[in-house]
A and B are shown apart, each in its own frame.
Chain A
Amino acid sequence: MGIQQAITNERKIMNAMKMSKDGYLLLLHTDEWWNGLGREELEKYVAQSQAWLERLMASGKVKGGQALARNGAMVSGQNGHSITDGPFAESKEVIGGYLLLDVETFEEAVAIAKTVPGLALGRKVEVRPLTNVCPAEARLEELKREEELATA
Chain B
Amino acid sequence: MNTQMKTGYMLLFVGTDWHKGLSPEEMQKVSEQWMAWFKRLTEQGKAVAGHPLERDGKTVSGKNGRVVADGPFAESKEAIGGYFLLDVATMDEAVAIARECPGLAYGAKVEVRAVRAECPLAGEAETQLTEATA
A residues sitting closer than 8 Å to B (CB atoms) are 9, 12-13, 16-17, 19-20, 25, 27-28, 30, 34-35, 37, 39, 42-43, 45-46, 49-50, 52-53, 57, 62-69, 71-80, 83, 86, 88-89, 93, 95-100, 106, 110, 113-120, 122-137, 139-140, 143-144
Main secondary structure of the interface of B (DSSP, over half): mixed
The B18-45 residues at the A interface (CB cut-off 8 A) are 19-20, 22, 24, 27-28, 30-31, 34-35, 39, 42-43
Which one, B57, B108, B114, contacts A68 given CB within 8 A?
B114
B interface residues, how many (CB within 8 angstroms): 83
In the complex, what residues of B have CB within 8 A of residue A52's CB? 121
Binding site for A on B (CB under 8 A): 1-4, 10, 12, 14, 16, 19-20, 22, 24, 27-28, 30-31, 34-35, 39, 42-43, 47-65, 68, 71, 73-74, 78, 80-83, 85, 91, 95, 98-101, 103-105, 107-126, 128-129, 132-133
Q: State whether A139 touches B19 (Cβ < 8 A).
A: yes
- Complex interface: chain A residues within 8 A of B133 (CB): 39
Distance between B29 CB and nearest chain A CB, rounded to angstroms: 9
- Starting from the known contacts A46-B125, A66-B116, A131-B51, 5 additional A-B residue pairs (CB-CB under 8 Å) come to A28-B120, A93-B78, A119-B64, A124-B59, A127-B58
A-B contact count (CB 8 A): 257
Distance from B125 Cβ to chain A, minimum over Cβ atoms (Å): 5
Q: Give chain B nearest CB distance to A22 CB in angstroms.
A: 10
Question: Given A46-B129, A67-B118, A119 and B60 touching (CB < 8 A)?
Answer: yes
B121 to chain A, nearest CB (A): 4
From A106, A117, A137, residue with most partner B Cβ within 10 Å: A137
* B-side contacts of A30, CB under 8 Å: 124
